[in-house]
Amino acid sequence: MLLPLDAPLILTLTLDEAAQTHFNALRQLYFPPERNYLQAHVTLFHHLPGPEAPAIADYLSRVAAATPLLPLQVAGLRFLGRGVAYDLQNPELLQLHRSLQTAWAAWLTPQDQQRLRPHITVQNKVEPTVARALHQELTTQFEPFEATGTGLTLWAYRNGPWEQLAQFPFQG
């Protein structure tokens, strides 16, 4: 069981090993090295309250136990202005996110109240011309493929690399 924390919490979707390896490699190629201290990730919630960590972890345990693996369609690329991301599609993931939003409504920041647009950022915080060039290059080579969401991971944010607190594998 997790103890209450003074740090905000981040919740991400855990990816299958092959997808994780693929997107980590792309981040190594395209992310500014001085800013690339995280592995590739799909953020579901950016700022959950650290003092509620025990209740959040307990809830995630129950949710993950009832959730099957989620097949994700890597459907295309997204230009972020100063970066590039891969768009992911899965209606069950959107439904899961909405149910978590409902359960945690009182705790959510405005950012976390928005509709989820799942993606994996492989470049960020670069000049717009650099990002646009990479977006165009990757788009011309892109063919849709599949990945799998295998669970949820809870992190503590401490103004730098994230601290992994717990993983909740899908078992449904």
Structure tokens given for 155 = 């992190």
Per-residue model confidence (pLDDT) at position 118:
98
First to last CA, the chain: 21
Per-residue model confidence (pLDDT) at position 160:
81
Does some domain include residue 145? yes
Does some domain include residue 58? yes
Q: What is the CATH number of the domain that holds 159?
A: 3.90.1140.10
Higher pLDDT, 115 or 33: 115
Q: pLDDT tens digits for 37-78?
A: 899 999 999 999 999 999 999 999 999 999 999 999 999 999
Confidence of residue 161 (pLDDT cuts 50, 70, 90): confident
Higher pLDDT, 1 or 11: 11
Does some domain include residue 3? no
Please give the residue range of the domain that contains residue 160. 9-169
Q: Phi first, then psi: what are they for 10, rounded to 5°?
A: -120, 140
What are the percentages of helix, strand and coil residues in the chain, rounded to 5? 40, 30, 30
Does some domain include residue 102? yes
List the helix and strand counts (H, then E) for the chain: 5, 7
Does some domain include residue 4? no
Per-residue model confidence (pLDDT) at position 3:
87
Does some domain include residue 148? yes
Mean pLDDT of 132-151: 98
> How many structural domains is the chain composed of?
1
Does some domain include residue 2? no
Does some domain include residue 79? yes
Q: pLDDT tens digits for 77-96?
A: 999 999 999 999 999 999 99
